[in-house]
Amino acid sequence: MVHSLKPLVIVGGGSQIGRALGLQLREDYSVFGTVRDDPTSEYYLDFDKFDKTNLNIPPNSTILWCVNRYIQPSLVEISENEYIERSLLDISLFVQRFAGFISQIVFFSTDLIFSNISQKPGILSERDGVGAYPKSKIAIEDFLRASNLPFKIIRLGKVIETSVFLNAAFDLLKQKQSVTAYDNLYFSPITMDVLCNVVNKIILNCKSEVIHLSNKNQISYFETCRLICKLVGAAEESVEPVSLDEADPRFRLSTPLGDVSLNWELPSPRKCILDFYRWKNDQLYSGGANRN
């Protein structure tokens, strides 16, 4: 098969971010997204059966690594170390098999690799994230740095459409039910549209190997839910504030990333929440949100 556009392989093409990127980038690339739920597909890829995969990828492919098959260790009954080892094994197996076909690999990391920080972390700041998820991201960052492959690491703020808590809170508040939300736990939101619009520019034009893509400002989960109340017509009293113990590993003094490599103006947290509200309504009107 002759490909007139440069090939782009989304590993984890069935994930929420993977699907969105595939739709956004298909005009500029010949997009292939791997799937786990259809063994008959030529793009079927199950890392638990990797030695039996028949997947082929085109030469000179850009790889977008959107794999996140272990959401939380507690949900799949594996230890923190096993969670990290399995996540690292996935990408190492893939690179070992397909290195000759990869022009560059783009990995989506997270601002959660920094914890208990008192100022905006820079590109070279100590990565001291607590918990299996951020530690797995750190391990993969280190793997890519040690590899011979061209790579870009994009450290993301919270992509608001992927938040399990905010999706659930929105649904409850729209139904005029109550929720509790932390008033001292903050995040720096970006939207899926921002991510999709920026990724192609990063692939083509950004010279940096590590990019921070995060809102310059932050907002608490409590304030976010109060804003959702206003948007859906719920009473603000529907949101009960609770405080996270500072000893909790999720507690973070500040979340916006410093040394943001991109000069593009990103929407404010409030604008992100308004876009999230519009997205949720679009999903409801189109028959329901499809989330992983």
Residue 138: inside a domain: yes
pLDDT (0 to 100) of residue 30: 95
Query: What pTM was estimated for this model as a whole?
Result: 0.88
Residue 290: inside a domain: no
Per the structure, the count of domains in the chain is 1
Residue 1: inside a domain: no
Residues 203, 205, 210, CA angle at the centre, nearest 5°? 65
| Per-residue model confidence as pLDDT tens for the chain (292 residues) | 444 789 999 999 999 999 999 999 998 999 999 998 888 888 999 998 898 888 999 999 999 999 876 555 455 567 889 999 999 999 999 999 999 999 999 999 998 898 765 567 888 888 988 888 899 999 999 999 999 899 999 999 899 999 999 999 999 999 999 999 999 988 889 999 999 988 988 888 777 899 988 888 889 999 999 999 999 999 999 999 999 887 776 666 555 565 555 556 788 999 999 999 999 988 766 655 443 3
C-beta atoms surrounding 6 within 10 Å: 15
- In angstroms, what CA-CA distances link 247 with 242, 254, 292? 15, 15, 30
Residue 292: inside a domain: no
**Cα 24 from chain centroid (whole Å):** 16
Residue 240: inside a domain: yes
Beta bridge partners of 234: none
Tokens standing for 196? Answer: 């999709």
Q: What is the DSSP letter of 110?
A: E
Tokens standing for 25? Answer: 């980038």
C-beta atoms surrounding 113 within 10 Å: 23
Whichever domain contains 276, its CATH number is: 3.40.50.720
Q: What is the DSSP letter of 291?
A: -
C-beta atoms surrounding 85 within 10 Å: 14
pLDDT (0 to 100) of residue 1: 42
Task: Specify whether the CB–CB gap between 140 and 129 falls below 8 A.
Answer: no
* Single-letter amino acid, residue 133: Y
Tokens standing for 286? Answer: 């189109």
Residue 291: inside a domain: no
pLDDT (0 to 100) of residue 205: 79
pLDDT (0 to 100) of residue 69: 62
pLDDT (0 to 100) of residue 250: 66
Q: Residue 255 sits in which domain range?
A: 7-285
pLDDT (0 to 100) of residue 235: 96
Residue 2: inside a domain: no
pLDDT (0 to 100) of residue 176: 95
